[in-house]
Structure 1
Amino acid sequence: MQPPSRRTFLALGLLLTAGGALTACTGSHDGDGGGPGDRRRPDPDEPVRLRAVTDTDTLLAGYDALLAGPGAGQAAQLQPLRAEVVQHRAALAAGLPTASVSPGTAASSASASLSLSPSTAPTSAVGTEAALASLERQTAQARLADLGAASPQLARLLASVSAAGVLHAVALGDDAPPTTPAPPPPVPSAAPTTAPSSPSGPASPPAAASGAGLSPEAVTALQRALSSEHAAVYGYGVVGARLPDDQQRADARTALAAHQARRDAWQRVLGGVGVTPSAAAAGYQLPFAVTDAAGAGRLAAHIETRLAAVYADLVAATTGPQRATAAGSLRDSALRARRWGAAATPFPGLPDPAVPTPGTTGTPGTTGPGTTPTPTA
């Protein structure tokens, strides 16, 4: 693996922008809060949210059963994980007409309340951390099963919460490898694109919109994912060059191969609909100097954290196999980021809804055209 050239420029900056808005956590409905005679507009996401909240109640009951059992020493590990599950519940319940989360529950390990049927969780079956880890993984899989029925923003939230559930399972001792979706197939195209891409470079956004079978938003998000994977491949070359020949370097090689495979998959998807895939830049400017193994690990965590945000946006912009693959990629990047030492977050790939993103104005926790990414010093 080659060290970075002093002439490198551009695009690990693509990995500096942390995803889009956590709008699914702040939903509202016409008629909510009105008088008794107001009629609420039906929310197509309501069945998905209700299922997700019910599953979360079952999971919380599992935590409570284990915390109430013998072995109080495990509370120090369980309480932070349970607190994140409470935050998941509050986000998933947002906008439901019967939702009622007590003040402060999202920031603590206190129980959340919701006017739904009482949980029928088999609490007696959750007597060990291994059993709770299995329940976390099952719940994470249930989130993914509802991706196709969810709106774009709710799908992004479900994918993030699912990734968090897998991280919880790993923290509880479940080291089973996650089920990774197969690379997405090219989108079927009924006819070739009518506007060929310019031979002088990647397709511009208007030309990209002509990709048959993909929306303009999906093409834009796929191009961004591809560009980010190009940058990740370069970045892992730097990471590997700064690590000793040990397990960490082996992990870096494994991650590099995974990003190369994902890059190739997105190139096939875009090429299959007649869109010119974004090419790798001649070089990339690192977000900070990497001079030793500690810096290499920090760079790897940075790459994976930013890729999780890119894939959260891709979940919202795509449908079908592409959405499922994007959710799997979000999860994989979240797992690798944690392995490289990234800080824990209850919503991998999404900004903290309570913390404004630097350089933005307006709603806290959102990013957009006004964002000014700040390189890490």
Structure 2
Amino acid sequence: MPAPTRRSFLTLGALGGLHLLCGCTDEHEHTPGKAAEDADRPLRLRQLAATDTLLADYAAVLAASPADADRLGDLREDVLQHREALAQSLPSPSPTAAGTGTARSVADLAASERRTAGLRLADLTAASPALARTLASVAASGAAHAAALGDTGPLTEDASPSPSTSPAALPAADAAALQSALAAEHAAVYGYGVVGAFLPIGPQREDGRAAYAAHQARRDAWQRLLTTGGVSPTAAAPGYRLPFPVKDATTATQLAAHLETQLTAAYADLCATTTLRPRAATALRESALRAAHWGADLPALPGLTPTDPTPAAG
């Protein structure tokens, strides 16, 4: 992962009064009632067992290759935070008997991270809104771990639906969350237009163009989905205020990292919906991977960790 830096949050605000949604924090996370907690218990226990198996793999690789301790230590700390989040509301969240890890190399560990991230998504649709947000965030973090360790393959349990399986009508709460995500995508498209103007010709500029096109496609998909559901899509603002001056390639990549961090919060909220979870989890994961690619200090729970505001440019 990138070297630790001060974690901050994009304050890209629209001129004319449009405000992008803030990052999700533990204070405003959906609090499940007793029935939801009981329904989530089997899912949480299954996910804890998978997490303990992953931790055993970390222990095995660290024992076999002590030289990788610095490289793997931060990732393992993230997994411990995943375990704490998944154990929430359980009366006895002590580690399960995971046995001896089967991974023997960093490549094995990368595959284990990717496989475990896929297992998070397997329980996504059956989870309560609060647990769904956590599972999607943990899956995104696991995918970023796998990528950092060299494994960029698809997640084995990724159940993102095709457009043809999308519902024709959206519940009001889902439509509201999707409108917020669309507003964040409008800002991202604008921001990447600025990013691309300062990136040098070569791989960086190509990466910027690819991200710009991906956000345009995501924006268009959300607009179509809202229109199909009988909802008028949120329009883009006439302009947006950047959080800091962008004047070279370094500040351009910082802006790209902030844009993607902004989107992880939007998509974590969207993961709490009833009809859009798989798509939202995919979008959350893609933004987390791009944020890491641009050098963001990705938190253990992308989209759920509180972040500090970045001062706006004068």
Common topology (TM > 0.5): yes
2:182 aligns to what?
226
In the TM superposition, residue 83 of structure 1 has moved relative to its aligned partner by 1.2
C-alpha distance in structure 2 between counterparts of 1:91 and 1:257, whole Å: 34
Are the structure 2 counterparts of residues 86 and 277 from structure 1 closer, same or farther at C-alpha, using a change threshold of 3 Å? same
Please tell me the residue identity of whatever aligns with 1:119.
Answer: A
In the TM superposition, residue 280 of structure 1 has moved relative to its aligned partner by 1.2
1:57 aligns to what?
52
Are the structure 2 counterparts of residues 14 and 74 from structure 1 closer, same or farther at C-alpha, using a change threshold of 3 Å? same
Unaligned residue ranges in structure 1 (runs of 5+): 1-7, 31-40, 100-112, 190-212, 359-372
Kindly indicate whether residue 197 of structure 2 is the aligned counterpart of residue 241 of structure 1.
yes
Question: What are the residue-to-residue correspondences of 1:102-121 with 2, within 5 Å?
Answer: 113-114=94-95, 116=96, 118-120=97-99
2:88 aligns to what?
94
In the TM superposition, residue 27 of structure 1 has moved relative to its aligned partner by 7.4
In the TM superposition, residue 119 of structure 1 has moved relative to its aligned partner by 1.5
2:7 aligns to what?
none
String of CA shifts for 1:337-362, please: whole Å, max 9, x gaps: 1111111311111124xxxx66xxxx
Q: Secondary structure at the match of 1:342?
A: coil
2:257 aligns to what?
301
In the TM superposition, residue 11 of structure 1 has moved relative to its aligned partner by 7.5
C-alpha distance in structure 2 between counterparts of 1:376 and 1:305, whole Å: 16
Kindly indicate whether residue 248 of structure 2 is the aligned counterpart of residue 253 of structure 1.
no
2:23 aligns to what?
18
Please tell me the residue identity of whatever aligns with 2:204.
Answer: Q
Q: Is the 8 A contact 1:311 1:330 kept in 2?
A: yes
C-alpha distance in structure 2 between counterparts of 1:12 and 1:346, whole Å: 29
Match of 2:138 among 161, 173, 178: 161
Question: With CA pairs under 8 Å and 6+ residues apart, which has the higher RCO, 1 or 2?
Answer: 2
Q: Secondary structure at the match of 1:43?
A: helix
Unaligned residue ranges in structure 2 (runs of 5+): 1-13
Are the structure 2 counterparts of residues 279 and 128 from structure 1 closer, same or farther at C-alpha, using a change threshold of 3 Å? same
Please tell me the residue identity of whatever aligns with 1:61.
Answer: A
Kindly indicate whether residue 87 of structure 2 is the aligned counterpart of residue 82 of structure 1.
no
Are the structure 2 counterparts of residues 152 and 301 from structure 1 closer, same or farther at C-alpha, using a change threshold of 3 Å? same
Please tell me the residue identity of whatever aligns with 2:293.
Answer: R
1:205 aligns to what?
none
Match of 1:311 among 236, 257, 267: 267
1:263 aligns to what?
219
C-alpha distance in structure 2 between counterparts of 1:270 and 1:186, whole Å: 14
For normalisation by structure 2, the TM-score amounts to: 0.87
In the TM superposition, residue 21 of structure 1 has moved relative to its aligned partner by 3.3
C-alpha distance in structure 2 between counterparts of 1:51 and 1:161, whole Å: 14
String of CA shifts for 1:293-325, please: whole Å, max 9, x gaps: 111111100100000100000001x224x2101
Aligned length: 298
RMSD (CA atoms): 2.6
C-alpha distance in structure 1 between counterparts of 2:91 and 2:192, whole Å: 47
2:39 aligns to what?
44
Q: Is the 8 A contact 2:30 2:129 kept in 1?
A: no
Are the structure 2 counterparts of residues 24 and 221 from structure 1 closer, same or farther at C-alpha, using a change threshold of 3 Å? closer
Q: Is the 8 A contact 2:117 2:142 kept in 1?
A: yes
Please tell me the residue identity of whatever aligns with 2:145.
Answer: H
Q: Secondary structure at the match of 2:20?
A: helix
Q: Is the 8 A contact 1:183 1:325 kept in 2?
A: no
1:199 aligns to what?
none
In the TM superposition, residue 172 of structure 1 has moved relative to its aligned partner by 1.4
For normalisation by structure 1, the TM-score amounts to: 0.73
Q: Is the 8 A contact 1:234 1:284 kept in 2?
A: yes
C-alpha distance in structure 2 between counterparts of 1:296 and 1:237, whole Å: 10
Q: Secondary structure at the match of 2:271?
A: helix
